[in-house]
Amino acid sequence: MLVLIRGAGDIATGIAMRLWRAGVQVVMTDLPQPTAIRRTVCFSQAIVLGETQVEDATARRAVDVHKSDDASVYKVSDELALVQTLDFFPPIADDPYTFGQIAATNALSDIYAMGGDPKLALNIMCVPEDMPEGL
């Protein structure tokens, strides 16, 4: 299981530590310039320092805007770049509305992870050919 946590401040770090110790993989996102106050006990410091340690866990900044890890980046001008992402993954929730929320959050987090400012979102969905109409 992989859990995405938006924010990497002290409370989010505490939750991430608990999940990590339970064997869950955790990915955290935060602002390009985190606003955490108790920085010595939160993973958001990895954004500033590249890596930080809280207790026995190490967090590393995983996104480099020049490598376009989470999205593609197209430089329009010296002041403007277009960040684009499109994810495809199987439904992880039975309720279509809930799955849509999860998919939108995932797409938006990719843009935030690249330091972008979301303006629109695009998701795709695959359904089986024998899916009954009206579902």
- List pLDDT tens digits, range 19-44: 888 888 888 888 777 777 777 788 88
- Lookup: tokens for 54: 């809280």
CB 5 within 8 A of CB 29: yes
Q: What is the pTM (predicted TM-score) of this model?
A: 0.46
Average pLDDT over residues 1-27: 84
Q: Give the per-residue pLDDT at 52.
A: 85
pLDDT over 70 percentage in the chain: 81
Q: What pLDDT is attached to residue 41?
A: 80
Q: What is the pLDDT of residues 39-58, one digit of tens each?
A: 778 888 887 787 888 888 88
The percent of residues above 90 in pLDDT, for the chain, comes to: 0
**How far is residue 91's CA from residue 98's CA, in Å, rounded to a whole number?**
10
Residue 69, pLDDT above cutoff 60: no
Contact partners, residue 94, CB within 8 Å, separation at least 6: none
